[in-house]
Structure formats: structure tokens, C-alpha cells
Structure 1
Amino acid sequence: MSASAVRARIEHDMKAALKGGDKRRLGALRLMLAAIQQREIDARTRLDDAGVMAVLDKMAKQRRDAEAQYREAGREDLAEQERFELAVIADYLPEPLSGEALDRLVEAAVAEAGAASMRDMGRVMALLRPQVQGRADMGEVSARVKARLGG
């Protein structure tokens, strides 16, 4: 497995934040690197870019969920920290897919899998996952596939 260019970029940016004295950004970058390293330890392998993107995508989802919960609880200070961390993570994720682009990918995956009913959803999602990882919320992708398959 090849080394991850995204991980190398995070490490480089972390050093720059350390030298520049940007403690808030440094903290967010350290969290990202720690999550990547934990996944590598768990898997006992070095992650490639796709693996790193999966980790960052999961972290972004966690930040969105936490930000909403803090906002509902009236903890704007904590919600702001989650928004900041999400913005830092988003710098390393690919450009999000538009709704139309996502619909085209769903249509193509349904056609490629020959899907006709909800029983075929797993095959369609398996085809879509590598294409949309880090670029769309998997819950939204799943909902669009269900709607397309009549679920």
C-alpha cells in the first residue's frame, strides 16, 4: 500500500501551525493525525489516501453531529469549536458533490448493478461508496438509493 499524500500534507501543515503559533489549528490537525494513526494501529497497516479519506469523512460527520447537539443545548462556545474543527477537516476532503451529480452517480450505479429492488441496495452502495467517500454524506446517498429503488 502506498503512502498517503493527504497524511503527508496534514503532517506538513501541522509543522507549519506549530512554527506559526496557531494553537487552535494545531490542535485540530493533531486530532486528525491521531485518528489516522489509531486506524493504522487497529488495521496494522499504513493507510493510503482512500483510507485517510474514510477517517476524515467519519471525523467530519462526528463534528457535524456534535455541533448540532451543542447548539441545541445552548453551548455556543462548544458548537463554535466543532465548526472550527470541521472547517479544518474540510480543507483535506475533496469538493462535495452537488445533488445533481449525486443523482447521476446513483443512476449509473443502479444501472451497472442491474438493481431492480431494495434487495439490490447493498450492491449499489458498494459501487457508490468509493466514488462518494468524503464527497457526500452516506446517509443522504443511502436515502437517494432507497428512493430510486422504490424503498
Structure 2
Amino acid sequence: MSELKERLRSDLTTAMKARDEVRVSTIRMTLSAINTEEVAGESHRELTDDEVVTVIGRESKKRRESAEAFDGAGRSELADRERAEQAVLTDYLPAQLSDAELTELVAAAIAETGAEGPKQMGQVMKVVQPRIAGRADGRRVSGEVKRQLSS
């Protein structure tokens, strides 16, 4: 079993003992998403830590988007709940890249691919995404790639 999945299970037990409802429900939903991913398709297998981080990142993104939607609909209590769940998930994600680090990674990918304009954004994204691996939001990455290819 991956170390991260084991940590989630251990933290679930701790949260249950502490009666931390938000943490318990968030970790349960995350473990459920991980289990769903493991049994999806023909091959039932354990996920690696990197794959677990990908699932947690996807769950975190869902929470952020839901919070934005609830804010737009004037449902601040639901938006606050989503943000609280996202904060729990953030504890399990790798540290986010700074703007300077992101700029440097994107510049290196552009140099490697030889891209010279916005039409070649896809090539740069293919190179830069594996290097970022959950350490930056896709919107931030694509925004930086566009910015550098436009200048």
C-alpha cells in the first residue's frame, strides 16, 4: 500500500477519535475516490503515491470549483464547507511551485521544444506537465505558457 494512502487511513482514525467531522468526511471521500480509481478498468491494482497525489489533486480542484460556484449562487455556507474540505486535502498535496519556479520550468520547456508561438502551446504543455506533477494548478501553468509564448 502506498505511504500516502496509509497516512490517509491513519489520519482518518485520528480524526474520528477527535470527532472532526469535516476531516473525517473529506478523508473518507478521498479514500473512496482512490479505491474507485484502483478498481477502474480491467486491472485491479494499488495506486502509487504519485497516482494518489493525482487523485487528491483532482478532488481538491473539485472543491475549489464547487466553492466558486456556491459563491456565485450566494450560498456562502456551502462555499465555506468546500473550502474547509480543500484545506484538508491541501495537507496531502506537495508544496505548490512559486511563480519564479513555474516561470523557470516553462522557460526550460519552451527552450527544449523550440516553440515560438501560441500555436505550439500543446507541445510545451506536454513537456511541462510531467515536471510539475501536482505542484501547480493547470490554469496557472497554461497561463504562464501563453504569457511566455506571446512575448
Q: Same fold by TM (over 0.5)? A: yes
Tell me how far 1:34 sits from its aligned partner: 0.7
Tell me if the contact between 1:14 and 1:26 (Cα under 8 Å) persists in the aligned partners: yes
Unaligned runs of 5+ in 1: none
Give the letter for the 1:27 counterpart.
Answer: S
**2:140: which partner in 1?**
140
Deviations 1:36-79 (A, max 9, x none): 11111114322111111111111111111110111121111101
Deviations 1:97-121 (A, max 9, x none): 1111110010011112232334543
Is 2:109 the counterpart of 1:102?
Answer: no
* SS class of match (2:116): coil
Between the aligned partners of 2:107 and 2:2, the Cα distance in structure 1 is 31
**1:49: which partner in 2?**
49
Between the aligned partners of 2:117 and 2:47, the Cα distance in structure 1 is 35
**2:6: which partner in 1?**
8
* SS class of match (2:40): helix
TM-score normalised over the length of structure 2: 0.89
Structure 1 segment 86-125 matched on structure 2, within 5 A: 86-125=86-125
Tell me how far 1:90 sits from its aligned partner: 0.3
Tell me how far 1:141 sits from its aligned partner: 0.6
Q: Runs of 4+ in structure 1 displaced over 3 angstroms?
A: 117-120
Unaligned runs of 5+ in 2: none
Is 2:22 the counterpart of 1:24?
Answer: yes
Tell me if the contact between 1:116 and 1:149 (Cα under 8 Å) persists in the aligned partners: yes
Tell me if the contact between 1:56 and 1:134 (Cα under 8 Å) persists in the aligned partners: no
Number of residue pairs the alignment of both structures matches? 149
Cα RMSD over matched residues? 1.7
Between the aligned partners of 1:147 and 1:15, the Cα distance in structure 2 is 45
Give the letter for the 1:78 counterpart.
Answer: L
Structure 1 segment 77-92 matched on structure 2, within 5 A: 77-92=77-92
* SS class of match (1:93): coil
Tell me how far 1:88 sits from its aligned partner: 0.3
Find the partner of 1:38 among 36, 39, 46. Answer: 36
Between the aligned partners of 2:3 and 2:130, the Cα distance in structure 1 is 17
**Percent identity at matched positions?**
39
